[in-house]
Amino acid sequence: METKQLIGSRIKQLRRTRGMSQEELSEKIGMSSKYLSSIERGRENPTLDTFLKLAHALNIEIFELFHYTREMSSKELMKVLHDLTKKGDKEKLRLTAKILEAIYLS
C-alpha cells in the first residue's frame, strides 16, 4: 500500500471510530464528500490546511492522522534492522541481541 493510501485509510478509520459518515465529516470541514472519499482512497494530495481541518473536526492532534501501521516485507524489515544496528554502539547492539534472542527463544 502506498503512503497516500495508508493515510487515507487512517482518516477513514478515525472517522468511523467517531461514528461519522463521509457526508458529516466533509460538511464539518467544508469540502465535498466526493473529495473526502478520494482522500480516503489515497487518490488526492491534501494540503496542510486540509489535514489541519480534518484533525480539528476529528478532535485529534494532526500527527495522529499519520500514525498508521504498515505491513513490511521481510526484505524491508531486514533493511530496517540493518540500518538501526549500523547506528548502535556496542552496548545498544548487545541489548538488541538479548531482546531478539529472548523473543526467538520464547
Is the whole-model pTM more than 0.85? Answer: no
Query: Within this chain, do residues 32 and 55 fall inside the same structural domain, yes or no?
Result: yes
Predicted pLDDT of residue 35: 98
Query: Within this chain, do residues 60 and 32 fall inside the same structural domain, yes or no?
Result: yes
**Maximum Cα–Cα distance across the chain:** 55
The HSE-up count of residue 84 (CA atoms within 13 Å, CB side) is 12
- With beta carbons less than 8 A apart as the criterion, state whether 5 and 42 touch: yes
Query: Within this chain, do residues 49 and 82 fall inside the same structural domain, yes or no?
Result: no
- Average pLDDT value for the chain: 89
Structural domains counted in the chain: 2
User: Who's near 56: CB < 8 A, 6+ residues apart?
Assistant: 29
Is 2's pLDDT higher than 70?
yes
Query: Within this chain, do residues 60 and 100 fall inside the same structural domain, yes or no?
Result: no
- What is the dihedral sign for C-alpha 30, 33, 34, 37? positive
What stretches of 1-106 show up as alpha helix (H) in DSSP? 3-17, 22-29, 33-40, 48-57, 74-87, 90-105
Closest CA to 92 of 23, 100, 27: 100
We report the CATH number of the domain holding residue 51 as 1.10.260.40
pLDDT band at 72 (very low <50, low <70, confident <90, very high): low
Query: Within this chain, do residues 53 and 90 fall inside the same structural domain, yes or no?
Result: no
Residue 45 belongs to domain spanning:
3-66
Query: Within this chain, do residues 59 and 91 fall inside the same structural domain, yes or no?
Result: no
Query: Within this chain, do residues 48 and 87 fall inside the same structural domain, yes or no?
Result: no
Compute the distance between CA of residue 22 and CA of residue 67 in angstroms, rounded to an integer: 20
